[in-house]
């Protein structure tokens, strides 16, 4: 009749059972096997065609077979059949594993099968059923703002990666004020020079020559400025104040304060802000233009009320 059952595997090669023969001499009790059995039950031992009791007649250690009593003399009168020898390994082709539904471990004792890259053997390993704080090197919680070079671990579409904390901070960022006033002529835009840095951790603001912010990191930035300026020709001569943000040397955003319908004044305050797309090498500057009724050549802005700053907006 035809064969009934699971088809026989013909794609892998397996070994036949093997055996060893020895000559007894009436005194020797130890003999070297060709294969190391796992226990006395993994082999059948015969002396003079009489099977020996695996529980009392002999022991095995590695490839050494030791009898509890010396077998008698004879040619090939001792033979051993290796019953439980490892006879083959079936490899699992990569293309036989398809996408499956992930199984959530329901016990800390659950295991998965893995291939050990060291020896190529399939082994079981505990299923990673959870994340324990005790597994973190230096598990003490941070007591302060992380440094820009600190890292966090996140899953990028299933692949764990490191991420510098600076990428999720509002950096680069800067803020500056003026410690010395620079005169602004009447009727023309003049760059506001702010020499005192309030914050500039990434050294992106030039406070000594060009008085500009160059981010070094592309992104969207919130930039702001405020200028307070007083008339250089006396009370109630201030007419109009324009405050502008310049990007790469060109006016980007401007605000104006016009006091001519309010009997003029002596001091005006002007603010400007904008969200600006900046490449790494773009730069932003703060400018002001002041119209003075007396056409003075020097209208000084106030150092304690004139500011310039900005920061990168994360996530945009």
Give the least confident one: 197-211, 214-228, 282-296. Answer: 282-296
- Output 131 or 54, whichever has higher pLDDT: 54
Angle subtended at Cα 215 by Cα 213 and Cα 221, rounded to the nearest 5 degrees: 90
11-26: average pLDDT: 78
Is 295's pLDDT higher than 70?
A: no
User: Could you give the percent of the chain with pLDDT greater than 90?
Assistant: 39
Residue 79 bridge partners (DSSP)? 21, 46
Task: List all residues 6 or more positions away from 82 whose beta carbon is below 8 Å from its beta carbon.
Answer: 17, 18, 19, 20, 33, 34, 35, 37, 42, 43
What is the edge-to-edge ordering of all strands in the sheet holding 284-292? 190-191, 284-292, 238-247, 250-258
The pLDDT of residue 132 is 59
Is 306's pLDDT higher than 70?
A: yes
41-58: average pLDDT: 92
Residue 219 bridge partners (DSSP)? 278
CA dihedral sign of residues 41, 44, 47, 49: positive
β pairing state of 190-191 and 284-292: antiparallel
Structure token pair of residue 118: 């060291």
Is 208's pLDDT higher than 90?
A: yes
pLDDT in tens, 70-117: 999 999 999 999 886 655 555 655 555 555 555 555 556 677 788 888
Task: List all residues 6 or more positions away from 56 whose beta carbon is below 8 Å from its beta carbon.
Answer: 68
Q: What phi and psi values does residue 262 have, to the nearest 5 degrees?
A: -120, 35
**Within a 13 Å sphere around the CA of 11, how many CA atoms are in the beta-carbon half?**
5
> Which residue do the tokens 């015969």 mark?
46
Q: Are 19 and 80 in contact (CB under 8 A)?
A: yes
Which of the 8 DSSP states describes residue 143?
-
pLDDT band at 1 (very low <50, low <70, confident <90, very high): very low
Task: List all residues 6 or more positions away from 8 whose beta carbon is below 8 Å from its beta carbon.
Answer: none
Average pLDDT score, the chain = 80
Is 197's pLDDT higher than 60?
A: yes
pLDDT in tens, 226-270: 988 876 655 566 778 889 999 999 999 999 887 665 555 567 788
> Which residue do the tokens 């022991």 mark?
59
Q: What structural domains does the chain harbor?
A: 19-82 (no CATH), 173-312 (2.60.120.40)
Q: Are 71 and 79 in contact (CB under 8 A)?
A: no
- Cα(274)–Cα(239) distance, rounded to whole angstroms? 25
User: Could you give the percent of the chain with pLDDT greater than 70?
Assistant: 70
pLDDT in tens, 138-158: 667 777 777 777 878 777 877
Q: What phi and psi values does residue 76 have, to the nearest 5 degrees?
A: 50, 35
């Amino acid at each position: 009749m035809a064969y009934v059952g699971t088809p026989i595997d013909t794609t892998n090669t397996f070994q036949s059972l093997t055996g060893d023969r020895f000559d007894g001499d009436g005194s020797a009790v130890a003999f070297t096997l060709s294969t190391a059995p796992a226990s006395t039950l993994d082999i059948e031992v015969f002396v003079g065609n009489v099977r020996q009791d695996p529980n009392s007649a002999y022991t095995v250690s590695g490839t050494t077979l030791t009898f509890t009593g010396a077998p008698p003399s004879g040619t090939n009168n001792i033979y051993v059949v290796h019953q439980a020898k490892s006879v083959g390994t079936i490899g699992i082709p990569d293309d036989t594993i398809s996408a499956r539904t992930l199984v959530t471990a329901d016990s800390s004792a659950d295991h998965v099968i893995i291939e050990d890259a060291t020896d190529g053997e399939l082994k079981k390993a505990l299923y990673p059923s959870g994340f324990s704080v005790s597994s973190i090197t230096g598990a003490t919680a941070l007591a302060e703002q992380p440094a820009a070079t600190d890292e966090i671990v996140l899953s990028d579409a299933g692949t764990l990666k490191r991420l510098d904390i600076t990428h999720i901070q509002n950096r680069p960022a800067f803020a500056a004020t003026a410690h010395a006033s620079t005169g602004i002529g009447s009727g023309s835009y003049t760059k506001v020079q702010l020499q005192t840095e309030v914050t500039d951790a990434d050294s992106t603001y030039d406070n000594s020559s060009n008085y500009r912010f160059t981010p070094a990191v592309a992104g969207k930035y919130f930039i702001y400025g405020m200028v307070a300026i007083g008339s250089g020709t006396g009370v109630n001569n201030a007419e109009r104040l324009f405050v502008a943000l310049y990007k790469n040397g060109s006016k980007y955003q401007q605000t104006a304060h016009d006091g001519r319908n309010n009997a003029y004044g002596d001091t005006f305050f002007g603010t400007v802000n904008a969200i600006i797309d900046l490449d790494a090498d773009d730069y932003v500057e703060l400018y002001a233009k002041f119209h003075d009724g007396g056409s003075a050549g020097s209208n000084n802005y106030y150092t304690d009320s004139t500011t310039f700053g900005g920061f990168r907006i994360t996530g945009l």
